[in-house]
Structure 1
Amino acid sequence: MRANQRIAELAGLRGVHAAFQWLHLQEQRLLAWQMEMLRIPAPPYKEEQRAAWVRDRFVELGLEQVQIDAEGNVLGELPGKIRNGPITMLSAHLDTIFPNEMLPEPRLEEGRVYAPGAADNVAGLTGLLAVAAAMNAAQLMPGHTILFAANVGEEAEGNLRGMRHLFFRSEYAGRIRSTICLEGAGTENVVVGAIGSRRLQATVTGPGGHSWTEAGAPNPIVVLSKAIAAMERIKLPRQPRTTWNVGRIEGGMSVTSVPERASCLIDLRSVDMDQLISLEVQVHRAIEDAVLEANDDAGDRRLSLQVTTIGDRPAGALSKEAALLETIQAVDRHLRLRTELRIGSTDANVPLALGREAIAVGAGGIAGGIHTHGEWFDPAGRELALRRILLILLDAAT
C-alpha cells in the first residue's frame, strides 16, 4: 500500500480520532506537566530527580516494564500485537545545559512559559508524555511494541551516553528498528543527518618562571597560539562540510610570570566520519609540531602535551529510501505541513551512525532564547505537532 493511502487510512481510524480528541482537550494538563518538570533540575549527569518524576508518570499512563536503567534512562513499553519482534522507540532527552543553581521559578504569562529549558528539552519531554497518554486514553495498540524513552546525556558533556547505552548495552540494543527523537519545539524541520563531532582539550605544561629571570623559557600560551595559527592553514573541504573552532583558551597566573600551563578547547565537526578523522589527525599534528619546535631549544626546560577527547559524536545519515523518511513525508502531506530536511547534532546521531532509521523532530509550539536564561515556549501549534508525531509513530510501528 502506498504511504499516502496508508496514512490516510490510519488517520481515519476511530482509535486515532480518540487520541486526537484527547490531545485537543488536554493542553492545560500538558502545560501543568511542563511547569512541574521545569521545577526539577536536570543538568548533565544529574538527571535523577527529573527521571524519577517521569518514571511515575509512565506508571500512571499505563506503560509496561517501566524502569530506570543502569545509565539513568527512563523506559516504558506500550506492547504491540507482535511483542517479541522489532520495536520502535520514541525518545526525548531529560537533561538541560543549566546547572542546578541556575534554575529560576518558571513563569507562565499570557500562555507563554518562561524558563531555562522550557523548549530544550522540556517541550520534548511533554510531547513524549502527551503521546503516551493519548494512546493510553484511546486504547491504541500498535502493530509492534513501542518503547517510550526519556534518556539522559544529550547535552554537551553528556556525550549521548543515554542513547549509547540503549543501542550498545541495553536489553533493547538489537531490537530497535526505528527511532523518533523529540527535540525542542516547532514542526518546521526534520533532522535526517547527523553531524559528527570530536571535542578536544589540549593542555601544554612547562616549568614556568619569572618573566625576567626565566626569560626565554618555553611559554605554553605562545606554543598553543602557534598551534592554532597552524590549524588556520588546514584546508577544509566545502563538501562534505567540515569545520573546526577553538572556543576557549586559558592559562597563566600574572603578567610577570611565564605560565606553567595553558589549555584550549577545540570543536571539530563534519557530516562525514572520514573527513572528521582526517581533520582530527591534522589538528593533533599541528599541536604536536608546535610543542616539538619549542622543545628543540628548551634544554631541560621542556614542555609536555596532553590532548584529551572530551566529546565524541558519530556522523551518519538516513537513507533516501528509508521507510521512516517515506512515512514522515506522507504524514506531512496529509497534515499539509511544509518541512525542511536538515542535519544536526541530536540523539539521533547514535542510531544513524549504526545504519538504523532515525529522525529528530520538534514537539510543536514556538520557542526562542534556546540555551539562555531567557528561554521561552509558546504552545501555539503544539496539538498539530503531536498529531503528526502520533501518526509517524503508529505507522513506523506497523
Structure 2
Amino acid sequence: MHLQEPRLRQWHRALMEIPAPPFSEEARARWMLERMRELGLAATSIDREGNAIGYLREPVAGEPLVLLSAHIDTVFPAGTPLNITEEDALLTGPGACDNAAGVTALLAIAAALRHANVETGANILFAANVGEEAEGNLRGMRYLLLPAHGRRIAFAVALEGSGNETVVTRALGSRRFRVTLQGPGGHAWSDASLPNPAAVMAQAITTLYACDWPAYPRTTINVGALESGGSVTAIPESATALFDLRSVDATELLRAEVALFRAVEDAVIAANVKYDKPLLRSTIESIGERPAAELADDSPLLAIVRSVDRHLAMRTSECTASTDANLPLSLGVQAIAIGAGGRSGGIHTTHEWYDATGRELALRRVLLVLLDCCDLAVEAEAL
C-alpha cells in the first residue's frame, strides 16, 4: 500500500479543506461520493441521512455484509479558520486526525481492494457517515443500521483517528443534556431580591461536581458550555448549561443522570422557597445518548483482530472510547473501532496534527481484519 501514499496525502489534505461541522457535512459527503465512484464502488449514493455509501460489488438483497465506516463530520463549528499546514508526512489543522485520517484510510482500503480485484466472501459496505461528533448523536450510524433497510450487518469496523495497535472493544456510554433555568430577570440593584438563574445554575453544577463518582467503573461529568445574561448590571432572565455524562457502566450512567436531575431540582426548589409562588423554572432536554456496550472477550471478531496482530507482530491494545461502534455493539452486532495508523495530537483543537509515518502498517491490519470478517460472515451464513 505504500505506493498509494502520495495519493493518500492528496486525499487527506483535500478532506481537511472541506469544512464539515455537525449537521453540515453535505460538501464532504459529495466529495466522498465522487471518490467512491472514481474507485469503481457499486451502488454508490448519498442516503437520506447524508451518508455517502458504496459497495465493493453490486449488493444482493439479504446477503451478509461487513460494514467499514469512517465519520466525515468534525467538532468544529461553521466559520472555523482552517489554517492547514503540511510538511512531509505531517498535516496540521482542524480535523487532521479526527477524522480525516479515518476517512482517508477508508478510501485507501477501497482503492486497494478494487485495484487488486479482490473477491471477498461477504460483500463490503463502505460508509462515510455523518453525525458522530458533538450533538450528532450517531445519527449516521443509526440510519445505516435501520432494520427497514434490510441490511444484514454481520460485522462493523469503524475507522477512527490514529494509531497502529489500538482497538476499541468497550463502548463508552454517554448521555448529554441541555439544562435551562428561566426567571423574571431584572435590575442588579433594585431587583436584587429576585432569583438569579446564573447563580442557581452554579449551585446545581457545584452540587453535581461534589458527588462521589467512581474510578471503577469510571464515570465522569462535564459542563461543556455555559450561557447567561448580556449585561453586568442586569439579573439574567435565563441560564443554559450543556452537561456530558459518561461511564463504561450503564447503571452508573443512570445514577449520574439521576444526580443531575436531582441537583437541578434541589437548586430550583431552594431558590423558590422564599417566594409566594415559584419564580424560577427549569427544563432539561436530552440532546444525545450513546449506549454503553462491550465486545465479548471470546467473540469471533476479537479473535480475528488478535490473530492479525500476531501475524503482524503487533500488540493488541484494547481500550474504551465513545465511537460509532457504540451503536452496533448495543444492537448485538460484533463491532470495533480501529486506528488508521500514524501519530496525532491536539485532538479537537484548531492545531490538531497527524503524522502519517507508518500508516501502511495500520492499513494492512485493517485490510486483513476486513477480509477475515468477510470470510467468517459467509461461513456463519452456511451453518
State the TM bucket, normalised to the shorter chain. Answer: over 0.9
Q: Could you say which residue in structure 1 is the equivalent of 2:237? A: 260
CA 1:226/1:368 → structure 2, altered by over 3 Å: closer, same or farther? closer
Q: SS of the residue aligned with 1:102?
A: coil
Shift of 1:317: 0.6
1:365 corresponds to which letter in structure 2? G
Q: Could you say which residue in structure 1 is the equivalent of 2:380? A: none
TM-score of the superposed pair, with normalisation by structure 1: 0.89
Q: Is the 8 A contact 2:42 2:58 kept in 1?
A: no
Q: Could you say which residue in structure 1 is the equivalent of 2:355? A: 378
Matched, 1:40 2:13: no
Matched, 1:206 2:183: yes
Shift of 1:300: 4.2
Shift of 1:192: 0.5
Q: SS of the residue aligned with 2:161?
A: coil
CA 1:272/1:131 → structure 2, altered by over 3 Å: closer, same or farther? same
CA 1:48/1:247 → structure 2, altered by over 3 Å: closer, same or farther? closer
CA 1:269/1:31 → structure 2, altered by over 3 Å: closer, same or farther? same
Q: Could you say which residue in structure 1 is the equivalent of 2:204? A: 227
Shift of 1:81: 11
Using the alignment, how far apart are the partners of 1:141 and 1:84 within structure 2?
19
Using the alignment, how far apart are the partners of 2:90 and 2:216 within structure 1?
40
Using the alignment, how far apart are the partners of 1:245 and 1:100 within structure 2?
23
Q: Is the 8 A contact 1:166 1:172 kept in 2?
A: no
1:109 corresponds to which letter in structure 2? E
Using the alignment, how far apart are the partners of 1:390 and 1:265 within structure 2?
39
Matches within 5 A, 1:18-37: 23-37=1-15
CA 1:90/1:260 → structure 2, altered by over 3 Å: closer, same or farther? same
Unaligned 5+ residue runs, structure 2? 376-383
Q: SS of the residue aligned with 1:26?
A: helix
Choose which of 118, 141, 144 in structure 2 pairs with 1:140. 118
Matched, 1:98 2:66: no
Shift of 1:106: 3.1
Q: Could you say which residue in structure 2 is the equivalent of 1:193? A: 170
Q: What CA deviation, in whole Å up to 9, does each residue of 1:145-177 have, x standing for no partner?
A: 11111000111111111001111256255x111
Shift of 1:233: 4.1
Using the alignment, how far apart are the partners of 1:371 and 1:282 within structure 2?
28
Q: Could you say which residue in structure 1 is the equivalent of 2:304? A: 327
Using the alignment, how far apart are the partners of 1:183 and 1:292 within structure 2?
44
Choose which of 50, 64, 68 in structure 2 pairs with 1:72. 50
Identity rate, percent: 51
Matches within 5 A, 1:1-398: 23-79=1-57, 84-104=62-82, 106-168=84-146, 171-173=149-151, 175-300=152-277, 302-398=279-375
Q: Is the 8 A contact 2:12 2:104 kept in 1?
A: yes
Q: Could you say which residue in structure 2 is the equivalent of 1:16? A: none
Q: Could you say which residue in structure 2 is the equivalent of 1:8? A: none
CA 1:376/1:206 → structure 2, altered by over 3 Å: closer, same or farther? same
CA 1:98/1:299 → structure 2, altered by over 3 Å: closer, same or farther? same
Using the alignment, how far apart are the partners of 1:28 and 1:132 within structure 2?
16
Unaligned 5+ residue runs, structure 1? 1-22
1:141 corresponds to which letter in structure 2? E
Shift of 1:82: 8.4
Q: SS of the residue aligned with 1:343?
A: strand
Using the alignment, how far apart are the partners of 2:237 and 2:132 within structure 1?
35
Q: Is the 8 A contact 1:81 1:144 kept in 2?
A: no
Shift of 1:296: 2.0
1:66 corresponds to which letter in structure 2? T
CA 1:230/1:103 → structure 2, altered by over 3 Å: closer, same or farther? closer
Using the alignment, how far apart are the partners of 2:178 and 2:336 within structure 1?
30
Q: Is the 8 A contact 1:195 1:349 kept in 2?
A: yes
Q: Is the 8 A contact 1:252 1:261 kept in 2?
A: yes
Q: SS of the residue aligned with 1:128?
A: helix
Q: What CA deviation, in whole Å up to 9, does each residue of 1:4-45 have, x standing for no partner?
A: xxxxxxxxxxxxxxxxxxx12111111111122222111111
Number of aligned positions between the proteins: 375
Using the alignment, how far apart are the partners of 1:47 and 1:247 within structure 2?
23
Q: SS of the residue aligned with 2:96?
A: coil
Q: Which segments of structure 1 move beyond 4 Å, counting only runs of 4 or more? A: 80-83
Q: Is the 8 A contact 1:119 1:367 kept in 2?
A: yes
Q: Is the 8 A contact 1:295 1:302 kept in 2?
A: yes
2:136 corresponds to which letter in structure 1? G
Shift of 1:331: 0.3
Q: SS of the residue aligned with 2:169?
A: strand
2:297 corresponds to which letter in structure 1? K
Shift of 1:136: 0.7
CA 1:39/1:232 → structure 2, altered by over 3 Å: closer, same or farther? closer
Q: What CA deviation, in whole Å up to 9, does each residue of 1:100-131 have, x standing for no partner?
A: 42243533213322221121111111110111
Q: Is the 8 A contact 1:123 1:184 kept in 2?
A: yes
Q: Is the 8 A contact 2:62 2:150 kept in 1?
A: no
Using the alignment, how far apart are the partners of 1:324 and 1:273 within structure 2?
23
1:197 corresponds to which letter in structure 2? S
**Greater shift after overlay, 121-130 or 30-39?**
30-39
1:210 corresponds to which letter in structure 2? H
TM-score of the superposed pair, with normalisation by structure 2: 0.93
Q: SS of the residue aligned with 1:177?
A: strand
